[in-house]
Structure 1
Amino acid sequence: MSMRRTDRVSKGSRSLSQPHPPRSSSIFDPDQTMMDISEVIFSNDSRDVQYAPAGSICEILNLYQTNPGRNGIGSWTREHTTGIWGQAKVPESGQYALLVRNIKCSNEHREFEIDSIVVQSDHIKSFLARVMDGYPGITMSRKRVQFSKPFEPFVHRWEMLSEARDNESNAQAKAHVDLLYGVLAAELSDVITNKQNLVLAGVITFDMLWTIFEPGQIALSTVDNCNRAFRLEKGWSGSGFEIDTVYIDYNGHGFGYRKHSLSIPTFEDTKPIMSLPVIPFVFHNDKDTLRKSLTLRGKLWYQHKGHHHKHYEGLALTSYGDQEIRYKINSRVIIDTEAYLEFHSDESPISLEAISDSPADKDFLIATPILRGYSLKDRKWLEFFIDGVTDIVWNSRPFKSLILPGGEAKDLKDLVLAFASSQSKNSDISDNLLKGRGRNVIVLLHGPPGVGKTLTAECVAEVMQVPLYVQNAGALGTTAASIEKSLSVVLRIVPKWGAVLLLGEADIFTQEHNPSDPKERELYHAFLPLLEYFEGVLFLASNRVEVIGPTLESRIDVAIHYPRLDSESRRHIWTRLLGKSDRKAFSEGEIFNLGDCDLNGREIRDVLNTARVLARYRDTKLSYKHVLTALQLSTRPVSRMIIES
């Protein structure tokens, strides 16, 4: 049907009389916007006019913008002359399928250009309800539906609109749809053709970016070297092309949508779509494979709600002020978003728009790959990527080779494990053993540094297959208030995770304090809740024990004293830390000589690490010479006889 712009009304209606002056009150259509205010009834004799049903006349009524009135609001008139007093009446204008609003054009070749289109035809609204299904912000159930320039929804769904028009079987509906199509084709022809040509070549210009980013669709980007999918909310030109998106996140209590901003910097000429920092998913070269992998990753991420003890290797993130700090870690971790947000002071609460139903595949596609928790070795609250998370491979062998002091090492190991295993949640021994006292087992480990105190706690946790949470007493604070605050965290999260707690530098318990010193007494009593209320296995490690106070003595279940390492113990440590593969490169005599070096276990480990770095740099296997070089560079004095050997 040819497009016809008309100013007539339906048959039987009288011609418009000269308008009356505006009255003090007017009748407004509740569905109108502010720009519709002038399309009101200014004549009280409209009851004499018979109008066709709303939107039923298959024609277009053109309206033209007038100059703003005293209130600063412009109006729309049927006349071309700007500023004329001749507003269109709502009952009259409401008859037409479409209202096309025109404004003065800055182009010298055209007097007017289209500003907006108002859809009033039920046929067109029903048609667009199908074409625009799922497009954010469009509701076709309203009496009058307005689309404004540059008509993004029609540009984004032009192919769907054209196909649906061709397939429209109802003749009357087709006639109404053709009206809209004719207006849009004339208005958008250059934009549509330009977009199609660019997309066909796989490129885009900056000023045409808005044509390929459809709201509600999926956008792809790389964030922290990780492929991410987001749902596009809107795109707009700012300092670059700014894109508002959402993704699925977890705040420790529930799942929901979280806002995220992306940006494409300005560029000249054309740019390949696949090289953009943000790519519409539909234009990706391998979107099917990518959709599958991102959805599977989202499902795996979803399984880590709550708290989990895992191994992690890879990039980890934290923040300090406005700065993002990155770590490369290889550690056992606790994944626990709730604890992370509660105890990581630099992180603000996560605001989410809740999901009404359980997450579906479309939600897993845009799920964040980030998990939040605590690195046990690094003792930091961090963000982890799901791709670096693996199950823990437990190893009980270190406990079997652990050197404990005294001739009854096996009995001592069995006793430590017996107490530790009694803390199992399903153990009947626990209730009987701990009846009438705090639900904890306290093991005191005391002796000089580097003799195996920390290793003992590590081995027990490994055999029990639970996390080991290490905390130095000195790091808990220097005032009673700071200690109490720090301990409140420990007393909450360690039992929650079922972890073994190792409190290092616990001299506050093991050395005699001065009861007449109010500050020392205050600090001592600040630590007492740890003994009273902690639930689980607690290792207290101290470098010296002079006098054990009665408060601690009555609560200790096992006390192990570690003497300084002798030569035989050091040879055992060298052999164990070398491992089977590296041990083959060392003779018995070389191991014997190394045992004579007066080093503790921690120092032996550090020397070996230095020697391995040197061997890797020289691209050779670890050897005795590398160890001797590392010994010479160490801060501890080493026998010249050993070096010259």
Structure 2
Amino acid sequence: MVDWRREVCNFLDMSDTCTDQDIREQLELASERLSEYESLKRLAFAKQGPPRVQVINKVECQRNKAERGLYLDTPWVVESGPQQAHLRCSRVIDNLELYLERNKEITCIIYRDYSCCGLSPLIRNSDHPEAIHGVVASSLRVSEHVSIVSDELRMAWETLIANDVDPAEDITHPEKRKHDNQDTQHPYLWWFHHRQNVKLWSSVLDRESQKQIQVFQSYLEESLGDEWAKVDELLSSAKVTTQYLDYVFAPGQIVISRLEGPTVAQSKAYTTTSWPRFRSVEVSHWKFDGNFQRFFDSIKISPPSTTTGEYPINSMSVYPMQYATEDVVLALRERGKTFWKCRHRNYVCVLGTSDDHLYDAYSGSRFMIDTATYKQMHPPANNQPPSLPYHDELGPELMSQDDPPAKLGDSFIMCLPTSLNGFNMQKKEWVKLEVAYFREVEWNEEAFDLLVMEPKTKELVEAVVTNHIDDDRNTDVIHGKGNGLFILLHGGPGTGKTLTAESVAEITKKPLYRVTCGDIGTKAEEVERYLEVVLLLGKTWGCVVLLDEADVFLEQRKLDNLDRNALVSVFLRVLEYYDGILILTSNRVGIFDEAFKSRIQLNLRYENLGQPQRRQIWENFINRLERLESERLRQIGNQTLTGVMGGPQSAPRFGVDIASIRQQIDELAKPALNGREIRNTISTARQLATFRKQKLAYEHLEACIAESHKFEQYIKSLKRGFSADQIKSDQQER
């Protein structure tokens, strides 16, 4: 409980042992003094007149530093000095403190700084009536700022400034927004951008404070009213001139920068944290290395290099988001959402555009976006200290959300980096990619249905890959062993082995990591290191690993070839503890080492294609050509379509005569072509039709098959009439 008697005594500077009568007398005396003070204050205000703003001109001669001073009158130009343009004034202020003491009604001083007789070239305007040698005094003004004199105005001023606080700013920025004195510096950008708000914020002030704020606003309207009106007119039409460039920017804006490239994909967004100063503005943006951290920078703002007069604001290399087109804003927001989906790990497809030659090589390719794995695989060089990880400014709770943090708004989602490192699953290399080109992977589950394979065999393959035993349910005695699914696909070339592996990846919706002998090498140490990396990535990313043409690693061990034995042993040891899906293909299964037989869970034999199988493959390709032709006719373009099946990926330029090809499908199925040869025949026939400027038709396919048959007959004659299958069978390899 508060001891009010003691509190009153302390306020009156009395001992708490005094009597109540003493306290009452002192309270009456204090009340009389307060009334007297209020009367004197009202009398003083009545004598000093209404509050006003005083303009004081500070003039300095660069040639003679002694010629400097404060003046009440506006300076004028006289013919003197090295440039025949010297400033003079007459009403000097010798003692500023005394002047203010005698003029209590002054609430603030507008200081206008002038400089003459310097080395800088002068701006001359001979047409001005007050010009001396083409020089007007106003052209020698170098700056202007306001200095607050009245305590009431200072408190009211601070109250208004304090209202300019964005609630979200406390979340995204550890410091308060910088105003850079733009509330006190000409052209008073803070007041320009908050004109409407000031009226609302002033309503909570007392009458005297409101009056003093209105006095300063009246000065602004008088001195800058015409300029502000011109700026309003320009901004309303989304245009500006170089003279008024600073008016475009303010703290808290989202600005779009094309400094790193002209396309939307290369455009970066920032949040401004300051007013413009010397044609630059301080900004914040986000960086990512597995953690999100906010960084601060400064970017240049400048008009278009080839533009004079008025120009669209969004033609500048850096401009506020409010002047961007709706498509640009939407694209940047979508890019931010895509980036958020990739913060942990994401498998994406990259689609380039026809005017972006850098993405021609990657368009349609699939990439694994995994920043943590990228950092692990790219440690700092030995001569470089390890870089510190970014500070996690979001925290695990926000990072675990499916959607970007709503409370951070556009200052987060639009201001994320433009690129991420992705692993190209086809070329097996890390590439820096523009996030704007990321798309969700469209899994081609139809590819498995189009496999030309016995229905029972197809069912078995689908069963084992979709019900792969995971680590928690493994049946091996030793933990970590026996969890992998190893499938061996063996048979002649072009019988569908690789397509089966690709289709398995599609129906399981897993990335396909394809490895060949050329990737791995042939030395045991190299093979072990490479396979460990591949299988680690395969496990981390949940890949289907395809070891194509695996004969060199599976060949039977012999006593006289220690290098071969070491290679096979390494391969066996590494595979023993892999718990993912591994598919091996071979056309020389007869040379396999016996130890592999027990490690292969499923063996599939691919016979050479018979006429019914070839007919089905031709049918599949014809159906695909028909879809591509329909797409071509619908869009009238050269739209690229992608898929895991080989063959033509875009409609032939001059169209396809589907009817003529389909009528001859039985004739097409008669030549003993394998699946790859059928695909190559269609590709070659397309090129022939394009060269002749004709629709792709049966005659083009027939011509290509005839030439291929000549080559096959020649090869067969060299081998004395034996086919490749017969030779491999005699060698006990197939």
TM tier, smaller: 0.5 to 0.7
Q: Which residue of 1 aligns with 2:244?
A: 208
Could you tell me how far apart the structure 2 residues matched to 1:177 and 1:377 are?
68
**Aligned pair in 2 of structure 1 residues 364, 605: CA closer, same or farther (>3 Å)?**
same
Which amino acid in the other structure matches residue 122 of structure 1?
M
Paired positions, count: 559
Could you tell me how far apart the structure 2 residues matched to 1:482 and 1:179 are?
82
Which amino acid in the other structure matches residue 125 of structure 1?
E
Q: Is the 8 A contact 2:488 2:585 kept in 1?
A: yes
Give the secondary structure class of the aligned counterpart of 2:240.
Answer: strand
Q: Is the 8 A contact 2:264 2:331 kept in 1?
A: no
Kindly state the Cα deviation for residue 126 of structure 1 after the two structures are TM-superposed: 0.9
Kindly state the Cα deviation for residue 157 of structure 1 after the two structures are TM-superposed: 1.4
Q: TM-score, normalised by structure 2?
A: 0.60
Tell me, yes or no, if structure 1 residue 389 matches structure 2 residue 439.
yes
Kindly state the Cα deviation for residue 454 of structure 1 after the two structures are TM-superposed: 0.7
Which of residues 448, 455, 461 is equivalent to 2:505? 461
Q: Is the 8 A contact 1:249 1:258 kept in 2?
A: no
Q: Is the 8 A contact 1:165 1:177 kept in 2?
A: no
Q: Which residue of 1 aligns with 2:413?
A: 364
Give the secondary structure class of the aligned counterpart of 1:439.
Answer: coil
Which amino acid in the other structure matches residue 450 of structure 1?
G
**Aligned pair in 2 of structure 1 residues 397, 452: CA closer, same or farther (>3 Å)?**
closer
Which amino acid in the other structure matches residue 671 of structure 2?
D
Kindly state the Cα deviation for residue 217 of structure 1 after the two structures are TM-superposed: 0.8
**Aligned pair in 2 of structure 1 residues 140, 506: CA closer, same or farther (>3 Å)?**
closer
TM-superposition CA deviations, 1:404-447 (whole Å, max 9, x none): xxxxx55544444444334254985x547997833212222334
Q: Is the 8 A contact 2:548 2:586 kept in 1?
A: yes
Kindly state the Cα deviation for residue 575 of structure 1 after the two structures are TM-superposed: 2.9
Which of residues 354, 358, 363 is equivalent to 2:393? 354
Could you tell me how far apart the structure 2 residues matched to 1:639 and 1:621 are?
30
Kindly state the Cα deviation for residue 292 of structure 1 after the two structures are TM-superposed: 6.8
Which amino acid in the other structure matches residue 232 of structure 2?
Q
Give the secondary structure class of the aligned counterpart of 2:485.
Answer: strand
**Aligned pair in 2 of structure 1 residues 146, 312: CA closer, same or farther (>3 Å)?**
closer
User: How do residues 434-583 of structure 1 correspond to structure 2 at under 5 angstroms?
Assistant: 437-477=481-521, 483-512=527-556, 527-528=571-572, 530-545=574-589, 547-562=591-606, 564-565=608-609, 569-579=613-623, 582=626
User: How do residues 228-377 of structure 1 correspond to structure 2 at under 5 angstroms?
Assistant: 230-233=269-272, 245-247=283-285, 251-254=289-292, 265-266=304-305, 267-284=307-324, 295=333, 298-299=336-337, 302-309=340-347, 313-315=351-353, 327=361, 329-331=363-365, 333-340=367-374, 342-343=376-377, 354-355=393-394, 358-360=405-407, 361-362=409-410, 363-366=412-415, 373-377=422-426
Identify the range of structure 1 (474-483 vs 447-456) with the bigger mean alpha-carbon deviation: 474-483
Kindly state the Cα deviation for residue 492 of structure 1 after the two structures are TM-superposed: 2.7
Q: Which residue of 1 aligns with 2:667?
A: 592
Tell me, yes or no, if structure 1 residue 105 matches structure 2 residue 109.
no
Kindly state the Cα deviation for residue 520 of structure 1 after the two structures are TM-superposed: 5.6
Q: Is the 8 A contact 1:574 1:591 kept in 2?
A: no
Give the secondary structure class of the aligned counterpart of 2:599.
Answer: coil
Which amino acid in the other structure matches residue 452 of structure 1?
G
Higher radius of gyration, 1 or 2 = 2
Give the secondary structure class of the aligned counterpart of 2:482.
Answer: coil
Kindly state the Cα deviation for residue 252 of structure 1 after the two structures are TM-superposed: 3.9
Q: Is the 8 A contact 1:339 1:373 kept in 2?
A: no
Could you tell me how far apart the structure 2 residues matched to 1:602 and 1:261 are?
55
Could you tell me how far apart the structure 2 residues matched to 1:63 and 1:212 are?
29
Unaligned runs of at least 5 residues, structure 2: 1-43, 45-50, 63-67, 73-87, 117-134, 381-386, 399-404, 627-657, 715-734
Which of residues 365, 377, 402 is equivalent to 2:452? 402
Could you tell me how far apart the structure 2 residues matched to 1:433 and 1:456 are?
32
Q: Tell me which protein shows more helix as a share of its residues.
A: 2
Q: Which residue of 1 aligns with 2:685?
A: 611
Kindly state the Cα deviation for residue 332 of structure 1 after the two structures are TM-superposed: 5.0
Give the secondary structure class of the aligned counterpart of 1:329.
Answer: coil
Q: Is the 8 A contact 2:239 2:312 kept in 1?
A: yes
Q: Is the 8 A contact 1:98 1:117 kept in 2?
A: yes
Tell me, yes or no, if structure 1 residue 217 matches structure 2 residue 267.
no
Give the secondary structure class of the aligned counterpart of 1:330.
Answer: coil
Q: Which residue of 2 aligns with 1:125?
A: 158
Could you tell me how far apart the structure 2 residues matched to 1:146 and 1:118 are?
13
Could you tell me how far apart the structure 1 residues matched to 2:588 and 2:332 are?
54
TM-superposition CA deviations, 1:547-580 (whole Å, max 9, x none): 3235534422233444555555444433333227
Could you tell me how far apart the structure 2 residues matched to 1:435 and 1:417 are?
26
Which amino acid in the other structure matches residue 444 of structure 1?
L
Unaligned runs of at least 5 residues, structure 1: 1-51, 69-75, 404-408, 641-645
User: How do residues 41-190 of structure 1 correspond to structure 2 at under 5 angstroms?
Assistant: 98=108, 103-106=113-116, 109=137, 113-114=142-143, 116-118=145-147, 121-131=154-164, 149-151=185-187, 153-154=189-190, 157=193, 159-160=195-196, 163=199, 170-178=206-214, 180-181=216-217, 184=220, 188=224
**Aligned pair in 2 of structure 1 residues 145, 215: CA closer, same or farther (>3 Å)?**
closer
**Alignment RMSD:** 5.4
Could you tell me how far apart the structure 2 residues matched to 1:215 and 1:513 are?
73
Which amino acid in the other structure matches residue 535 of structure 2?
L
Identify the range of structure 1 (611-620 vs 493-502) with the bigger mean alpha-carbon deviation: 611-620
Kindly state the Cα deviation for residue 177 of structure 1 after the two structures are TM-superposed: 2.2
Give the secondary structure class of the aligned counterpart of 1:538.
Answer: strand
Kindly state the Cα deviation for residue 124 of structure 1 after the two structures are TM-superposed: 1.0
Give the secondary structure class of the aligned counterpart of 1:637.
Answer: helix
Q: Is the 8 A contact 2:271 2:283 kept in 1?
A: yes
Kindly state the Cα deviation for residue 310 of structure 1 after the two structures are TM-superposed: 5.3
Kindly state the Cα deviation for residue 501 of structure 1 after the two structures are TM-superposed: 1.0
Kindly state the Cα deviation for residue 535 of structure 1 after the two structures are TM-superposed: 1.6
Could you tell me how far apart the structure 2 residues matched to 1:317 and 1:592 are?
42
Identical pairs, percent: 22
**Aligned pair in 2 of structure 1 residues 391, 511: CA closer, same or farther (>3 Å)?**
closer
User: How do residues 31-46 of structure 1 correspond to structure 2 at under 5 angstroms?
Assistant: none
Could you tell me how far apart the structure 2 residues matched to 1:259 and 1:448 are?
61
**Aligned pair in 2 of structure 1 residues 103, 256: CA closer, same or farther (>3 Å)?**
closer
TM-superposition CA deviations, 1:524-549 (whole Å, max 9, x none): 56545541332211112234345323
Give the secondary structure class of the aligned counterpart of 2:156.
Answer: helix
Q: Tell me which protein shows more strand as a share of its residues.
A: 1
Could you tell me how far apart the structure 2 residues matched to 1:152 and 1:561 are?
82
Tell me, yes or no, if structure 1 residue 421 matches structure 2 residue 454.
no
Kindly state the Cα deviation for residue 186 of structure 1 after the two structures are TM-superposed: 6.4
